Amino acid sequence: MSTNPIKRFLPAILVLGVAGVVVAAVTEPAQRPPASAISAATETRPPVNEDSVKFLVLGDTGTGDRAQYDVSAQVWKSHQVFPYEFAIMVGDNIYGSERPQDFAQKFERPYKPLLDANIAFYASLGNHDDPNQRYYKPFGMNGQRYYTYQKKDVRFFALDSNYMDRDQQTWLEKELKDSDAKWKIAYFHHPIYSSGGRHGSEVDLREIIEPMFLQYGMNVVFAGHEHFYERLKPQKGIHYFTAGGSSKLREGDIMTGALTAKGFDTEQSYMVVEIDGDVMRFQTISRRGKVVDSGEITRQAKPEPKS
Amino acid sequence: MTKLKSASFVLSIAVLAAGCTRDVTSAPPAPTDAASKAPAGPKAAAPEAPKLVPSVPPVGSPFPAPALAAAPDGQPGTNVQGAATLEFQNQIKAYLRIHNEAESKVPKLKRTDDPKEISDRESMLAKAIQTLRTSAKVGQIFAPEYQPYFIKIVQDDFARRSAVDRKAIIDELPKNMKVDINTVYPTTLALATFPAGLLRKLPDLPPELEYRLVGRSLILRDVKANLIVDILRDVVPTIPS
């Protein structure tokens, strides 16, 4: 029997090593992120009020690549500090093929800790999404391409900006008109204001939905499509955020100009948001766990009803 | 006679133009003065590009036939736009009958945790429709005699856009994709966003169907089956390089 400890334990080390590789292949994406890519801690700050509405904002996530897994790890770290209750997705939930294994690779696996913790997702459709995703229960769409729901005194409107037909416009106007929620927040894929070099503002869509937003007192709008983070200067009193860089990234694409209040296009990012009475607080966190933007928004006064 | 023809043409253009903007009254309220003066995004601020290269003209005239053509017997003429829309809607109804028959042969689509159920159902429905439409031909719904009406709507819409806007739309369209009737839309390709302004000008569709642009074609897509139902080719203009 060998007395050299390396020789003695070599078979066991080999077996454990092979098993480790097999387990990693099953539970991790093909490209495993290097440990250095994910910081050990997050700079996420806790919410101010534990009774507030707290949510996560993700956009353009469904790549299934290393970036998505890095960001999802940070997202879960943020939750330990900032216990958001649900997540909104601003589209491009699954890129490329949409086979069952793609849903696993591009959604279920990266967000497993959140799903296990019963954090509800409320998705909207991006241009890369098959509209039949609305039947996938974990996306929380209840079989609808566009829908609305309320969390305490916040009414959310998830729109399908890929296809803004007359039915959706009629529905949106009715829902906005009927809602007496203190806060109204819309989210959808295509930003109607954007400094993106690749796409820019969706002027067509803006012509249709912005008048309704103004008339019925929309407070905040989240969008994606542009693969970066941008906080825009308030447009006609409405606050707009683009959060389409939670996995995809288009580095250097922000053409900073009159619209931009803050832009971040050098790394992937996501947002955590708290609505507490008349105040909305937000933090935008990078793939490496740095807070790259944060702030407070005070709820705008409701528009006067027209006589 | 020449005067009569000219008057008829002017009238037809006027009616057609009215048709193209028929949704104005039912559209959401226009922005206020202040709104219209607000800074626009990069697309709106961009300068105009050179003129579009006209797409391949449709067979016959590049424009729809006069909307109000004088009937030989002096009776009120035909509203071509109205006739095109009516014929289109009839063809849509005929397609829906097939869609509904196919749907009755496959399991009901329900909300599920299992994405396989969704993709299997999509495939089953597509196959059922394909079987029922084996003889389907391009132009069955976009009937050839009314294609100029649709082409004009699309081309007018592109013509009124800024160069940057046109480029942004065209850049996003799937390229080099073989589009064929009664085939599945490739699941790996993005469904390019349909310009909201253009959508307002086209005839309404039932929820089972939607318009999409692919390359230079306008297609009708069955949403639940992910199937290409009809194609109108060479609709989207090209941009000079």
Residues A285-300 have a mean pLDDT of 96
DSSP state of B230: E
What is each CA distance from A106 to A25, A76, A110, A127, B122, in whole angstroms? 15, 16, 7, 16, 20
Domain ranges within chain B, ordered by starting residue: 2-232
pLDDT of B239 > 50? The answer is yes
Q: Inspect the interface and report whether the beta carbons of A173 and B28 lie closer than 8 Å.
A: yes
Contact A187, A221 (CB under 8 A): yes
Alpha carbon distance B47, A138 (integer Å): 44
Q: Which of B203, B97, B185 is nearest to A131 (CA)?
A: B185
pLDDT of B1 > 60? The answer is no
Q: Inspect the interface and report whether the beta carbons of B42 and A135 lie closer than 8 Å.
A: no
pLDDT of A211 > 90? The answer is yes
Q: What residue has token string 């832009």?
A: A263
pLDDT band at B84 (very low <50, low <70, confident <90, very high): confident
* Chain A residues inside the 8 Å CB shell of B30: 211
Question: Is some CB atom of chain B closer than 8 A to the CB atom of A190?
Answer: yes
pLDDT band at B191 (very low <50, low <70, confident <90, very high): confident
pLDDT band at A140 (very low <50, low <70, confident <90, very high): very high
Contact B158, B237 (CB under 8 A): yes
Residues A198-220 have a mean pLDDT of 94
Can you give the pLDDT at residue A39? 53
Alpha carbon distance A32, A65 (integer Å): 9
**H-run or E-run covering B10:** helix B2-20
CA B86 to chain centre: 15
Can you give the pLDDT at residue A5? 47
Residue A192 within a domain: yes
Contact A183, A201 (CB under 8 A): no
Rounded to two decimals, the pTM is 0.79
Contact B148, B62 (CB under 8 A): yes
Alpha carbon distance A165, A162 (integer Å): 9
pLDDT of B176 > 80? The answer is no
Residue A1 within a domain: no
Question: Is some CB atom of chain B closer than 8 A to the CB atom of A260?
Answer: no
Q: Could you give the ipTM of this predicted complex?
A: 0.80
* Chain B residues inside the 8 Å CB shell of A163: 193-194, 199, 210
Question: Is some CB atom of chain A closer than 8 A to the CB atom of B34?
Answer: yes
Question: Is some CB atom of chain B closer than 8 A to the CB atom of A167?
Answer: yes
- Coil vs helix vs strand at A56: strand
Alpha carbon distance B96, B103 (integer Å): 10
Alpha carbon distance A190, A200 (integer Å): 9
Can you give the pLDDT at residue A174? 98
Can you give the pLDDT at residue B36? 32
* Chain B residues inside the 8 Å CB shell of A259: 39, 41
- Coil vs helix vs strand at A116: helix
Q: Of A127, A204, A215, which has the smallest distance from its Cβ to B29's Cβ?
A: A215
How many CB atoms are located within 10 Å of the residue B82 CB? 13
* Chain A residues inside the 8 Å CB shell of B202: none
Q: C-alpha dihedral over A191, A278, A156, B30, to 10 degrees? A: -50
Q: Of B34, B35, B115, which has the smallest distance from its Cβ to A136's Cβ?
A: B115
Can you give the pLDDT at residue B77? 62
What token pair was written down for A162? 């890929």
Residue A43 within a domain: no
φ, ψ for residue A206, nearest 5 deg? -60, -40
In B211-240, the residues whose Cβ lies within 8 Å of chain A are 223-224, 226
Q: Inspect the interface and report whether the beta carbons of B112 and A136 lie closer than 8 Å.
A: yes
Q: What residue has token string 């819409």?
A: B157
pLDDT band at A277 (very low <50, low <70, confident <90, very high): very high
Q: Inspect the interface and report whether the beta carbons of B111 and A190 lie closer than 8 Å.
A: no
Q: Which of A268, A167, A269 is nearest to B209 (CA)?
A: A167
Q: Which residue has the higher pLDDT, B22 or A153?
A: A153
Residues B95-106 have a mean pLDDT of 97
Name residues whose C-beta falls within 8 Å of residue B230's C-beta, 6 or more positions apart in sequence.
Answer: B136, B138, B139, B140, B141, B142, B181, B219, B220
Q: Inspect the interface and report whether the beta carbons of B41 and A128 lie closer than 8 Å.
A: no
Q: Which residue has the higher pLDDT, B50 or A95?
A: A95
pLDDT of B42 > 90? The answer is no
Out of B23-37, B69-83, B162-176, least confident range: B23-37
Residues B50-79 have a mean pLDDT of 39
Residue A304 within a domain: no
CATH code, A255: 3.60.21.10
d(CA B170, nearest CA chain A) in Å: 11
- CA of A96: which chain B residue's CA is closest? B188
What token pair was written down for A252? 């250097």
d(CA A279, nearest CA chain B) in Å: 25
Average pLDDT, chain B: 73
Q: Which of A169, A84, A91, A83 is nearest to A123 (CA)?
A: A91
Instruction: Identify the residue among B166, B199, B210, B218 best suited for mutation to test binding to A, counting A beta carbons within 10 A and taking the highest.
Output: B199
Can you give the pLDDT at residue B171? 83
How many interchain CB pairs under 8 A, A with B?
142
Reported as half-sphere exposure (CB side, CA atoms, 13 A), residue B174 has a value of 22
What is the domain range of residue A287? 56-298
Q: Inspect the interface and report whether the beta carbons of B35 and A210 lie closer than 8 Å.
A: yes
Residue A25 within a domain: no
Our count of domains for chain A comes to 1
pLDDT of A6 > 80? The answer is no
Beta strands, E only, chain A: 53-58, 86-89, 120-123, 147-151, 154-158, 183-187, 220-223, 229-232, 239-243, 260-264, 269-276, 279-286, 291-298
pLDDT of B67 > 80? The answer is no
Average pLDDT, chain A: 88
Can you give the pLDDT at residue A253? 92
Can you give the pLDDT at residue B165? 83
> Percentage of chain B surpassing pLDDT 70?
66
Per DSSP, helices labelled H in chain A are 5-27, 66-81, 100-103, 112-116, 166-178, 203-215
Q: Inspect the interface and report whether the beta carbons of B111 and A202 lie closer than 8 Å.
A: no
What would you measure as the largest C-alpha separation in chain B, in angstroms?
A: 69
For the stretch A171-207, pLDDT in tens is: 999 999 999 999 999 999 999 999 998 888 999 999 9
- CA of B35: which chain A residue's CA is closest? A236
